[in-house]
Structure 1
Amino acid sequence: MAVEDVSTSFISSLQNPTPTATNSGTALGKDAFLQLLVTQMKNQNPLDPQDNTAFVAQLAQFSSLESMQNLTSTVDSIATSYKSSQALQASSLVGRSVIVEAGSTVVDTTKGMTGSVVVPSSSTATTVKIYDTSMNLVDTVDLGTQPAGTTSFTWDGTNSDGEVAAAGTYSFVASGSIDGKGTSLATYLPATVNSVTTSTNGGEMTLNLAGGSSIALSKVQTIGI
């Protein structure tokens, strides 16, 4: 094989290292590259020497490749640090209350609960119906006429007979009359964070809420105490 071919093959191996070289830790570095250049100069045909610009081009190519590898290493390090920082921040949410878009949540009925309803357009006859786990209607919160926007509501934890309901998971179904049509409305409810799940592929972290539901960290609207 000609010396020029050896040099070209060497550059190619740097750009596309084989799994064996990468895994064994024997990837060629700067010293080996310079030794290759010296060998190439010593063994070139004196009657047809290689152009100096070819050596300069090889050096420039190696320098560019080395810079790209260093940049990749730096970016990987930053990504790892960011992921660790994100995990630490997310873990601090365990045991705290967050406000998320949800249809159900665990309620301590002795304390009641405050949530909110998103009204896309002016609504009349706006209500929030509360159901138990068997989908039995427990109580109805009448919000009347509401303008477009976010409207808060409070459930005192009692049923329609005024008796304190049992603590547990309850569903909240909001609706309103918009332009004369019954429309389902989104509800935002408080929930307690039980644990945090980190992604193995660099994706977003997930908050595991009381009651068994999960939600992405970016979906949290408000963080409470």
Structure 2
Amino acid sequence: MNEVNSIANSSLFSEFSIDDKTKDDPKSNELGQSAFLELMITQLEHQDPLSPQENTEFIAQLAQFSSVESLDKLNNNFDSFTNNFMANQALQASTLVGRSVTVPTDRTRLETGDVVTASVDVPASSSDISVDIFSESGALIDQISLGIQPPGELVMRWDGMNAEVNGELLDWQSSHEEGVAPGVYQFKVTTNADGESVQLATALSANVNSVTVASNGGLVLNLAGVGAVELTDVKQFNE
């Protein structure tokens, strides 16, 4: 695991540098502090000796220069704060590599000896909830009947051979006595509502393979069997 984290951290801070992601292209029409000062000095050197600049105008320019200097320092401090914040956030996110998170999706990858956790939002009017599990090729692998469930969050755990709902083992036998092979599986959860079959929203657990920084500075988790998912879309961090 240390080797995985080392590789992830190296990739995170070299290929996806925080500075590179937040650095703006220089704008040719911006007037910086040094350019403003040079312009003011040039103006003083070439002023008309018979009609020199009045004190009020000079003081106004000095005040304007002071404002430019203050804004420049403020921008530098804010950029430094932003970079430090993002670097700290990225470092914390990199510790998720190898862990499991739950995200809104209908497919994930099951590894040998692993368990997939499915979180389902059950509406108030529902009955005969069933779960169809498909292989990556689209073949139906298993059908699990959950019967009538109370409204709210339903949590199902499946290891390819057994299933439990809300912590209780189901009296259900998989058609695969030895369990299914490791791979990507799709979950389709349906119920009968008002006489019609309705598919329910599902969130599944998935392992974090790596963490990257998006072009907008946001953090993206690369999940096994799912793909790229923004950190803000994570519903739960699993133990």
Please give the per-residue CA displacement for 1:62-92, whole angstroms capped at 9, x wherever unaligned: 1111111111111111111122112111111
* Distance (Å, rounded) in 1 between the aligned partners of 2:227 and 2:92: 20
Query: Shift of residue 56 of structure 1?
Result: 1.5
Root mean square deviation of aligned Cα: 2.7
Report the Cα distance in structure 2 between the residues aligned to 1:65 and 1:144, rounded to whole angstroms.
Answer: 69
The residue aligned with 1:56 is 59
TM-score w.r.t. structure 2 length? 0.73
Distance 2:159 2:222 in 1: 26
Asked whether the equivalents of residues 108 and 206 of structure 2 are also in contact (C-alpha less than 8 Å), the reply is yes
Letter of the 1:219 partner, please give it.
Answer: D
Residues 174 and 187, structure 1, Cα contact 8 Å, conserved in 2: yes
Residue in 1 aligned with 2:193?
A: 178
Q: Between Structure 1 and Structure 2, how many residues are aligned?
A: 200
Q: Which residue of 2 aligns with 1:108?
A: 111
Unaligned runs of 5+ in 1: 1-14
* TM superposition shift of 1:53: 1.5
Q: For residues 8-46 of structure 1, what are the alpha-carbon distances to aligned partners after superposition, in whole Å with 9 as ceiling and x for unaligned? A: xxxxxxx833xxxx7xxx94365x577557646xx5445
- For residues 33 and 63 of structure 1, do their structure 2 counterparts lie closer, same or farther at Cα, with a shift above 3 Å needed? farther
Aligned to 1:5: none
Q: In the alignment, residue 180 of structure 1 is paired with which amino acid?
A: G
Write the distance in 2 (CA, Å) between the matches of 1:37 and 1:134: 74
* Corresponding position of 1:77: 80
Structure 1 residue 28 and structure 2 residue 35: aligned? yes
- 1:224 is aligned to 238
Q: Which residue of 2 aligns with 1:118?
A: 121
Q: Deviations over 1:141-177 (max 9, x none)?
A: 2222233321111224127425122222111111112
Farther-moved stretch of structure 1 (67-76 vs 105-114):
105-114
| Partner in structure 1 of residue 216 of structure 2 | 202
Tell me the distance in 2 between the aligned counterparts of 1:189 and 1:156.
13
Query: Following the alignment from structure 1 to structure 2, what is the Cα–Cα distance between the partners of residues 35 and 135?
Result: 74
In 2 relative to 1, CA 98–112 (structure 1 residues): closer, same or farther, beyond 3 Å? closer
1:98: Cα distance to partner?
Answer: 0.8
Shift in CA distance, 122/147, structure 1 to aligned 2, threshold 3 Å: farther
Q: How big is the shift at 1:94?
A: 0.7
Q: For the pair shown, which has the larger CA radius of gyration, 1 or 2?
A: 1
In the alignment, the residues of structure 1 paired with residue 228 and residue 125 of structure 2 have an alpha-carbon distance, to the nearest angstrom, of 31
- What letter is aligned with 2:231? L
8 Å CA contact retained: 1:126, 1:174: yes
Q: Is the 8 A contact 1:104 1:172 kept in 2?
A: yes
